[in-house]
Amino acid sequence: MPNRVELAAAPGINCLGCLGGTKLVRYIQFFEGRGAELCQKQTAKQTAMKRTLLFASLVVASGLLLTNIYSSLVDAPAWGHDVAKGMQTSRAYYQVSNPGHFFRIFSPLNQGLGLLCVVLFWKRGKQTRNLLLLALLCYVVAEGMTFNYFYPRNAILFESELADRATLQRVWQEWSTMNWVRTLAVASGVVCTALGLHRTYNAPTAIRIEEREAVAVA
């Protein structure tokens, strides 16, 4: 089948007075434009679906951040006001459920969403990729602190036999101080995720062209 150039060069089609040839060229131009428009819409739809997961990651991470801040501003001071009585009261209060149940659900979910966003936006651009990788690293660091630093101290404060006042005071102080460091790690991840989300709306034109071409080939 002759291509567009051959059709345009054929006798009778390239002639301005030939109505049939002019219509044929216009039809070709119309369908080419429609094809490009459909590819662009499909690419935009796929990007919007990916952004939904990025928004979800940002929401979950922000929830963890606010929960950490709440623990530092409300829970920790209550524990340490009179540390011996505070620990006894907290142990009685946490008999049915405790904050650990919340973090065991949403912290892995946050890391999973962060990893998924890195995979989905890997080809979106170097800056977007690096921001999402940095966000994931921050979330993993915060989780590592939870396992290696906070779990042993949680056991002393809330699970094992109640220690003496000096030990409780020391462990509570360590917990309270380092929780701000963990909060800073999560906050850094939230900022990086938000910046990565912003970058998806400002991707270079070349990347957008590559995405449309990839959709067209598929």
Task: Give the model confidence (pLDDT) of 167-198 as tens digits.
Answer: 999 999 999 999 999 999 999 999 999 999 99
For residue 7, the model assigns a pLDDT of 44
For residue 72, the model assigns a pLDDT of 95
Domain range for 142 is 50-217
* 7 and 25 Cβ atoms separated by less than 8 Å: yes
Q: How confident is the model at residue 74 (pLDDT cuts 50, 70, 90)?
A: very high
Averaged pLDDT, 78-87: 88
For residue 5, the model assigns a pLDDT of 47
Which amino acid belongs to residue 165?
R
For residue 191, the model assigns a pLDDT of 97
Query: Residue 212's closest CA among 32, 51, 41, 53?
Result: 41
In a domain, 123, yes or no: yes
In a domain, 176, yes or no: yes
Please, which residues have CB within 8 angstroms of residue 142's CB and are 6 or more apart in sequence?
Answer: 107, 182, 185, 186, 189
In a domain, 169, yes or no: yes
Beta strands in 121-164 (DSSP E): none
For residue 30, the model assigns a pLDDT of 52
Supply the Cα-derived Rg of the chain in whole angstroms.
29
For residue 16, the model assigns a pLDDT of 44
For residue 13, the model assigns a pLDDT of 44
- pLDDT tens readout for residues 110-134: 999 999 999 999 988 899 999 999 9
In a domain, 133, yes or no: yes
In a domain, 196, yes or no: yes
In a domain, 100, yes or no: yes
In a domain, 191, yes or no: yes
State the total domains in the chain. Answer: 1
For residue 47, the model assigns a pLDDT of 74
The alpha carbon dihedral of 102, 105, 108, 111 has a sign of negative
In a domain, 4, yes or no: no
- pLDDT tens readout for residues 14-70: 444 444 556 555 555 555 555 545 445 555 677 778 899 999 999 999 999 999 999
